[in-house]
Structure 1
Amino acid sequence: MTETSPSARALASRPTQSIWPGLLLAAMIAGLAFVLRFVPGLGMLSPLILAILLGMTLRNTLGTPEAAQAGIAISMRLVLRAGIILMGLQLTLGQVAQVGWLGVAVIALSLVLTFGFTIWLGRVLRVDAKLTQLIAAGTSICGASAVIATNTVTRGRDEDVAYAVACVTIFGSLAMILLPLTESWFALGPRGFGLWAGASIHEVAQVVAAAFQRGDEAGQFGTIAKLTRVMMLAPMILCLGVFAARRRGGQSGGGKAPIPWFVFGFIAMVGVASTGWVPEAVLDPATGVTQFLLAMALAAMGLETDLRKLAAAGLRPALLGAGAWVFIMGISLGLIVLTGAAG
């Protein structure tokens, strides 16, 4: 049986409850997350990560207001899907062309191998299957955004989402620090280093922070490589949706596939952005709106996360996140060197 979060149950049991208190609370937390990015030492964390941390802090200190439950449920579903659809405007097929077919092959193969390795390692470590998939998606694709998008089809607990986000935050931050320190060992060159950063580091903000330490060329190429990796979120979510439906159908003797329609919206937005018809005056604000909507969704998940349940998961998921991180760093570097994509 699929687990349902407290906010979803509250929304179902009280269809007339106003959604505005919860939406306003999630929006306020998201806004505070953007402000906190200007605090020294917090700039390395994306608003998405700060939003879930703030939501968790409120949930586990003062508690989540009962009147906010309906709006929280909307934030975790409709607001999240709207953010993912708009994220497509940040990507174009022209950016993929700049990476080159070898670069795209390195990114895609690193993603698939890392996802498969993480699933295997999760079974070895006996980590819950849904939590394993969230860690696998966050590590192999694009950090917190991939975690919350993947959860729309895996339907894990809010605590699973929080744990997976914590893993990509910790290990992505370590990668952001360590990659520039170790790059000289491999003599990759600016484009090679940018590709390595874009293919292996978890969050877009972390990639930008790491890649630009090697210069503008590395920074720009790393950002494009990372956005190319983000584009692979859509086919991954579709595949996971089919897999999840088959598994549920096999267990219950039936069941329809949970078609993630928002993914098609994401693909459509990529197509629109690729035409070049959308003016910069629209694209720039759209990027900010996208980040704000995703931050609202993560704030809502934080408001539903009980730290006691999070602690009950133990250290095995953390070991899984560490193993997945080491693997993607190593496999992407190996593929870059072997294929000559660094040239």
Structure 2
Amino acid sequence: MRGTVPGLLTAAAAVVASFLVHLLLPAVPVLTAAVVLGLLAANVPGSAAMAAGAWKPGLALAARKFLRLGIVLLGLKVSLVDIAGLGWTALLLIVALVLAAFAGTYGICRLFRLPGDEPVLIAAGFSICGVSAIGAMAAVRRTRTEETVVPVALVTLCGTLAIAVLPLAGRMLGLPAEVFGSWAGASVHDVGQVVATAQTAGTAALAAAVVVKLARVVLLAPMTAAAGLRARRAQLPLQGKRPPLVPLFVLGFLALILVRTWGVLPGAALETAAVLQELLFAAALFALGAGVRVRALFASGVRAAAAALTSWALISGLGLAAALLLAG
């Protein structure tokens, strides 16, 4: 464990720096700042050697464990009572939206010939709940941490792009607040990005966005289970231990959804958990970014960026259609 201390202290310093960047530049989300700082650490002379050497054990721990702990805490943001209030028609529409977004993004990524598990990871991140979905999907597919870096970077950067683009597009289209909120909830990736996007149109938009987004988040468990079942069927018995059907941390995510639904925790505890979740995600994203070498990234980075932007446009269109149908 002592070997992890330098990397963990570096990740902690990066988290503080990410929050400072956000305070100075509110338009830059904390998680985006964390990814960028990680990329700088991996590619600036001096820190690059440390990221590949003394910091590596601690950063590897942060990238893996902190991300999973953050996913567990994400469950405390989801109340099944609030989601049920949407009604069966709306819920079925959101399920159809997620499935269409996943299939469309996966197809686009395959069309751009992205390697390895990148297509399924990007599809999960874009269609369900960003970094959390990538981490869960990587776990059931036994994907190496290094292979999650490009999907994580793309889902974070495209979600950040949505914070700037969607409010402008919403004003140009003259969308009512609730429709705009539903659009943000249906098409933006991470929960924090949804909040940042929707709050520009007021409290009604924010309320609609959060409920629609959390309905997408709930689908993390069944989508992960489906991917786990597929991975188990694809693996021969002689290939060793099979991947889990549902990872333990996803079960923890489900358990905390039930805790939030029962309403047994006070508001102060929920707020503390939300802050802790953002801290964990920021540390994990810095660690993932610190594993990216720009030269290696260019091998598939240009194709991956093109695939991500195309997928983002597709999901934004699907999300707008779903928002208009929900309003009707």
- TM-score, scaled relative to structure 1: 0.85
Corresponding residue for residue 96 of structure 1? 83
Matched, 1:36 2:21: yes
Contact 2:94 2:322 in 1 (8 A): no
User: Over residues 77-133 of structure 1, what are the superposed CA-to-partner deviations in whole Å (9 max), with x where a residue is unaligned?
Assistant: 222222211111111112212333333223221111111112222222211141111
> For residue 283 of structure 1, what is the aligned residue in structure 2?
270
Provide the secondary structure at the position in 2 that maps to 1:67: coil
Counterpart Cα distance in 2 of 1:209 and 1:270? 23
* Counterpart in the other structure of 1:325: 312
Q: Distance in 1 between matches of 2:145 and 2:248?
A: 22
Aligned-partner Cα distance in 2 for 1:33–1:249: 44
SS at match of 2:222: helix
Give yes or no for the alignment of 1:258 onto 2:241. Answer: no
In the other structure, the counterpart of 2:95 is: 108
**Aligned pair in 2 of structure 1 residues 18, 170: CA closer, same or farther (>3 Å)?**
closer
Aligned to 1:60: 43
Partners of 1:182 and 1:162 lie apart in 2 by 30
Distance 1:209 1:314, change over 3 A: closer
Distance 1:173 1:290 in 2: 18
Give the number of aligned pairs: 323
Q: Which moved more, 1:190-199 or 1:233-242?
A: 233-242
Give the AA of the match of 2:99. Answer: V
2:191 is matched with 204
The answer to whether the 8 A contact 1:106-1:336 is kept is no
Distance in 2 (alpha carbons) for counterparts of 1:237 and 1:205: 21
Which amino acid in structure 1 is aligned with residue 64 of structure 2? R
CA displacement at 1:257 relative to structure 2: 2.5
Q: What is the SS of the residue equivalent to 1:81? A: helix
Q: With the length of structure 2 as denominator, give the TM-score of the two structures.
A: 0.89
Q: 1:271 aligns with which of 249, 258, 261?
A: 258
Which residue does the alignment assign to 1:3?
A: none
Cα offset for 1:135? 1.3
Counterparts of 1:226 and 1:77 in 2: how far apart (Å)? 25
* RMSD of aligned alpha carbons: 2.4
Deviation readout 1:196-219 (Å, 9 max, x if unpaired) = 110011232332233223222112
Moved more, 196-205 or 232-241: 232-241
**1:50 alignment partner in structure 2:** 33
User: What is the CA-CA distance between 1:185 and the residue it aligns to?
Assistant: 6.5
Partner of 2:233: 246
Question: Is 1:307 the equivalent of 2:294?
Answer: yes
Q: Is the 8 A contact 1:246 1:257 kept in 2?
A: no
Counterparts of residues 158-177 of structure 1 (less than 5 Å): 158=145, 160-177=147-164
Q: Does 1:82 align with 2:69?
A: yes
1:298 aligns with 2:285: yes
Identity %: 37
Distance in 2 (alpha carbons) for counterparts of 1:107 and 1:76: 30
Distance 2:301 2:167 in 1: 31
Residue aligning to 1:26: 11
1:231-286 Cα distance to aligned partner (Å, 9 max, x none) = 22222222222223333438x65641234111000000010111111011211111
Instruction: State the alpha-carbon separation in 2 of the partners of residues 125 and 265 from structure 1.
Output: 35
Aligned to 1:229: 216
> C-alpha distance in 1, partners of 2:7/2:161?
34
CA distance in 2 between partners of 1:160 and 1:199 (Å): 27
The offset of 1:184, in angstroms, is 5.6
Structure 2 partner of 1:194: 181
In structure 1, stretches of 5+ residues that fail to align are: 1-15
Matched residue SS, 1:44? coil
Letter in 2 for 1:121: I
5 Å matches for 1:328-343? Answer: 328-337=315-324, 340-343=325-328
Q: Give the stretch that moved more between structures: 263-272 or 325-334.
A: 325-334
Q: 1-side partners of 2:89 and 2:29: how far apart?
A: 29
Q: Structure 1 residue 314: deviation in Å? A: 4.1
